[in-house]
Structure 1
Amino acid sequence: MYTFTNIKTKLPKILIKILHSLQEIGAKPILVGGCIRDYFLDINSKDYDIEIFNIDKLEKIQSVLSKYGNVKLVGKSFGVLTLSVDNFEFDFALAREEKKVSSGHKGFEVVTSKNMSFEQASLRRDFTINSIGYDYFEDKILDPHNGLNDLKNGILRYVNKNTFEEDALRVYRAVQFCSRFNLKIEEKTFTLCQRIVDTQEFQELPKERVFEEFKKLFLKSTKPSIGFELLRKIDILKYFPEIKNLIGCIQDKQYHPEGDVWIHTLMCIDELARILDKSDITDEYRKLYLFYSILCHDLGKPFCTQEIKGRITSHKHESLGVEPTKQFLSKITNEKKFIEKIIPLVKNHLAPFQLYLANSSLKAVKRLSLKVNIEDLCYVCLADCLGRDIKDKEKCPKAIDWLLTKAKELNIQNSALKPLVQGKDLINLGFKPSKEFKEILDFAMDLQIDENLTKDEILVTINNKYK
């Protein structure tokens, strides 16, 4: 698994052509970072980082790359060029050092030098497993910080203490790398991360950067719970009290023998990862809001959990979870549409089992479709049911299959029931647009669902009632 004898055969042919073109102008290209790490982990990569030595003119590199496609300049001060070709993403960067000169992720002074050694340039890398390089022309692995050894032993270790603490985001990167690759964080690296968490710069990290690290944690981990346990251990959760409040929140042992709400939630996100891996969902946006929905589904429990006659209850926790969900999500994203996808899934996550146990009619299923995407809800509900240590887990897919079957009969598994009567129909009846429109349209929907009337029958009833 950790051999590089076939690495040349694994590289994209277009990349090999580009490497030869760069060599022809006197450049020394070295493959670095994630693509090399992933090779040794036997993970297919579509993204390649290439560091350029022996040259200090960005324009020379750009002229070579432009022959292969559209080249974008990420930032001249950073000396990074990107090229997308044949479904691959290539980043080309001049060998450089980065020195912290002011606060924030942009507060770096970049110094490039064509005479810089690979070891010197690698000091700016975050972790040893990301500091490994590959010289294509010499067919040689460059590993000045023993990253291969750490990779073999499953250890995450910083490259350089001084450069590591200059970017507070690296704490979140540590979390998602440990989660994705099942790594153990080295003791000194762990201690340094704890110290960084208490800094002002960590607290002021831009939302979008934090969101991207959570995204990788969720979408690229087999067991996202590893990352969330590390968030707890490093004490990052003190900035997300909505999540931290789950720790120690007791549950009824009959339904949750696994322990508190925190343990249950970790089990749920791992179950969802397993479920989505077997599903046909390819949309990352959809996967991500499903993950956040299951993460937040029980945020209401700390506000209502109590013991009554020896039994633990969390009455109305699903509706009480709406506000803490909004509060938590607002700390990591400003995208309102994304949050709006999650809220109804949290608020209705008990509905599939409630309808199943009551053997509810199609009317109830129709009304549920007006509140939430039923198929999405079924994914969340299934993960919630399986994410516990109960013995009768076979009931979980039964309930979900029951609801999905009924929703598919009505073709409303992924969309709300379409109203037969709309505003334009009321106008055609002679009604003038007013505040009363909503009341009339709600009445029309009630007739459609409860009485199963046709459109014409509904319009006649409306005419008789409101005229």
Structure 2
Amino acid sequence: MPVRFRIEDPTLAAPLRQIEHLIRRAGGRLWLVGGCVRDLMLERQPRDLDLEVSGIPPGQLHAMLTEHFSVQFVGRAFGVFKLNGLPIDVSLPMRRPLNDATIPGLLHLADPEMEIDEALSRRDFTINAMAWDPDTLDFHDPFHGRDDLKTGTLRHVSERFSEDPLRVLRGMQLAARYNLTGAPETVALCRSLTQDRLPSERIWEEWKKFLLRGVILSKGLQWLNDCDWLRLYPELAALRGCPQDPVWHPEGDVWIHTLHCLDWFAGERTGQAEDDLTVGLGILCHDFGKPATTKEEFGHITSRGHEAGGEAPTRAFLARLTNQTGLADEVVALVLCHLRPYALYDGQASDSAVRRLARHVGRIDRLVRVARADHAGRPPKPFDGFPAGEWLLEKARGLDVEAQAPAPIVMGRHLLTMGISPGPEMGTYLEDCYEAQLDGLFTTLDGGLAYIRQQLPLSS
């Protein structure tokens, strides 16, 4: 069936035409497959292209591509040629997943003569099992992915779905991005799978897509819950059924609250990937300390100390996703301080308190985003705009600590000129000086040096 699509991005359209010409001239055929076809069906422009080539042996395809592009062969399970510097992947139909991600392994398992419908049967979800030939305009949809897109259904293509359990996490981010609900038979299949043998790098990529590209993040986590994959993330599972005081949280338990907070966050992403990822993780983890600290006291539900109690489960959760300890430290700081914006506002805190918060959390602007989502994720309680956040941001801007911790004014090199040698004594002076700076006792280098002179013994 002929279908006409238009790829508007010249950085995709131009290399696509070049590759299509090379493949056709060599007697092969080129298909767009996967997410790019799905997005085109939804009248969205794709960010990247997945191309599948038939009719050309792997060695010849590799030689053709490397003649015109910088090519990297990657993929532990399903080998692809990545065009370096371009968001384009090129693959060949495979009889079964690769155990050896090498060109010889590809030569052994690739089947360039496989019909496109059979190749599509090896893909994950029906919405990703559509193919389009940009030359002939032929469109293939043997598993009715277009219908599932219309009904918002996430359905696996075949029992071969189980060959790569990562597809469950891919379902999480797809459900969040496209507002999809799992078909019962797909959910049942996912319940039988586990991520135990998946490399953390692949797991991390799906969670990043979930947080950075999801539109209704609650749909993604509900998918994980339906698939019984929260058993693999006990920190998330513990949120279910953890009660909250209905006066402050009329929306329900901590799980429901977290879903609302994440949906709010998705609507306020900035497009700065590093910031959005750190903030999104902070919101996801901000109440991880509640299950261990929640109790009923005098007829009220409390969770005193849940901020500090959230550090250990947050680190455990993030360790399953990534080994980036710096990122974990940044997220933990947001978890530990997520109630501070309201507390400082309520007490109309001093400049010193704001500087000290910046020292602890690093990025007050990120912290306010976490606290704002926490404040907003309590429907039907009306959202008041979170004046505490605006107050804190204004104070932080005035002190130049909105997006950074206060930089020490007095450094070790300054103390050397005053006759203080490197060592514990210098460290003590520097720490004392920085504390005085945070308290606002001086704001210039001259003021800092004068402060140090006051602390030195008279003999100095």
TM-score, with structure 2 as normaliser: 0.91
Amino acid at match of 2:188: T
1:244 is aligned to 2:243: no
Paired residues of 1:307 and 1:313 also in contact (CA < 8 A): yes
Aligned match for 1:255, one of 238, 245, 248: 248
Aligned to 1:458: 451
Within-5 A mapping of 1:334-373: 334-372=323-361, 373=363
- Pairwise CA distance, 1:13: 3.3
Aligned to 1:289: 278
- Residue 444 to residue 195, structure 1, CA distance change in 2 (3 Å): same
Aligned to 1:388: 378
**Residues in 2 aligned to 1:108 and 1:57: alpha-carbon distance in whole angstroms:** 7
**Residues in 2 aligned to 1:364 and 1:246: alpha-carbon distance in whole angstroms:** 32
- Pairwise CA distance, 1:451: 5.1
**Residues in 2 aligned to 1:325 and 1:76: alpha-carbon distance in whole angstroms:** 29
Aligned to 1:89: 87
**Residues in 2 aligned to 1:272 and 1:57: alpha-carbon distance in whole angstroms:** 44
- Residue 244 to residue 56, structure 1, CA distance change in 2 (3 Å): same
Amino acid at match of 2:420: F
Equivalent residue pairs, number:
448
**Residues in 1 aligned to 2:22 and 2:98: alpha-carbon distance in whole angstroms:** 34
1:166 is aligned to 2:163: yes
Aligned to 2:192: 195
Aligned to 2:22: 21
**Residues in 2 aligned to 1:6 and 1:335: alpha-carbon distance in whole angstroms:** 40
Q: Helix, strand or coil for the counterpart of 1:264?
A: helix
CA RMSD of aligned residues (A): 2.5
Aligned match for 2:317, one of 303, 328, 353: 328
- Pairwise CA distance, 1:231: 1.3
Aligned to 1:265: 258
**Residues in 2 aligned to 1:50 and 1:108: alpha-carbon distance in whole angstroms:** 16
Residues 329-382 of structure 1, C-alpha deviation per residue, up to 9 Å, x if partnerless? 112211111111111111111111111111111111111111011111111111
Q: Helix, strand or coil for the counterpart of 1:257?
A: coil
Aligned match for 1:441, one of 410, 425, 430: 430
Amino acid at match of 1:329: L
Amino acid at match of 1:160: S
- In structure 1, runs of 5+ residues without a counterpart are none
- In structure 2, runs of 5+ residues without a counterpart are none
Aligned to 2:115: 117
**Residues in 2 aligned to 1:34 and 1:460: alpha-carbon distance in whole angstroms:** 66
- Residue 167 to residue 380, structure 1, CA distance change in 2 (3 Å): same
Paired residues of 1:96 and 1:110 also in contact (CA < 8 A): no
**Residues in 2 aligned to 1:90 and 1:100: alpha-carbon distance in whole angstroms:** 20
- Pairwise CA distance, 1:442: 2.4
1:133 is aligned to 2:126: no
Q: Helix, strand or coil for the counterpart of 1:312?
A: strand
Aligned to 1:43: 44
**Residues in 2 aligned to 1:317 and 1:79: alpha-carbon distance in whole angstroms:** 45
Amino acid at match of 2:232: Y
Aligned to 1:65: 65
- Residue 451 to residue 401, structure 1, CA distance change in 2 (3 Å): closer
- Residue 356 to residue 23, structure 1, CA distance change in 2 (3 Å): same
- Pairwise CA distance, 1:388: 0.9
TM-score, with structure 1 as normaliser: 0.89
Amino acid at match of 1:252: D
Residues 362-412 of structure 1, C-alpha deviation per residue, up to 9 Å, x if partnerless? 11111111101111111111111111126452151x111111111111111
**Residues in 2 aligned to 1:74 and 1:149: alpha-carbon distance in whole angstroms:** 32
Q: Helix, strand or coil for the counterpart of 1:52?
A: strand
1:235 is aligned to 2:228: yes
